[in-house]
Amino acid sequence: MKSILIASTSTIHGSGYLEYLLDELKDHFNSVKEILFIPYARPGGISHNDYTEIAAKAFIKIGKSVVGLHEYNDAKKAIANAEGIFVGGGNTFVLVAQLYKNEVLVAIKNAVNSGTPYLGTSAGSNICGLTINTTNDMPIVYPPSFKTLGLVPFNINPHYLDPNPDSKHMGETRETRIKEFHAFNTQPVIGIREGSWISVSDDSISLKGTLDARIFEHNKSPYEISTNTDLSFLK
């Protein structure tokens, strides 16, 4: 039975790392003692060790230990044996390039489809979709492919921001960028605002958290969905 949390972010304004999700994570990783953390996205270019330490300090609050995937000689075996998996945020292109380099995308997908509970935040959420073509990140490295885990039948845009009518910024909005994506692609895209997440339990997919999400479908006007909405219609 698949058990997946796809969160927009690891940290909301005024809160510590994963703090807003801890109650949810305590339940999500209820049967797990040790979580395998994949630190490949390296936010700000920090080391794998430093990033793993950040995750460990958060999970110790709910009685879970954390070990980094980079600490293992056999990454595929570590994933296959993991009790739970967490892929953190950072740069999505860096993350995906490293996943392909270490040949572990299939191993992660197989583990999650076999019931290993998975948490993704930001970049770790992007890879749950069909592709990473709707990430907000700069392509600072070039992965072999933009195709990723496909754990949900749509693309994801974490950290979704609404247009600010008072802003003097003249660049494209997130909505404009996603419309550009749909000029060449047809899969739906979900814009997840900070503090919200998508919960997957076997074949059930739903929006959770405090905020609405924005849905973009090919050749349709964007629209809002409220928290606790069933997203199975996007299959």
Identify whether 182 is a catalytic site residue: no
Q: What is the pLDDT of residue 170?
A: 61
- Which ranges of the chain have pLDDT less than 50? none
Domain count of the fold of the chain:
1
Radius of gyration of the chain (CA): 17
User: For this structure, is 137 an active site residue?
Assistant: yes
pLDDT at 168: 67
Q: Identify the active-site residue in 122, 125, 196, 199.
A: 122
* pTM (predicted TM-score): 0.95
- 126 and 74 in contact (C-beta within 8 Å)? no
Distance (Å, whole) CA 224 – CA 128: 21
pLDDT in the model for residue 108? 98
Specify the pLDDT at position 136: 96
Catalytic residue among 137, 182, 196, 199: 137
Which residue, among 58, 118, 127, 66, has the nearest Cα to 91 in the 3D structure? Answer: 127
CATH, residue 172: 3.40.50.880
Q: Supply the range of the domain harboring residue 222.
A: 3-234
125 is catalytic: no
Q: How far is the C-alpha of 119 from the C-alpha of 64, rounded, in Å?
A: 14
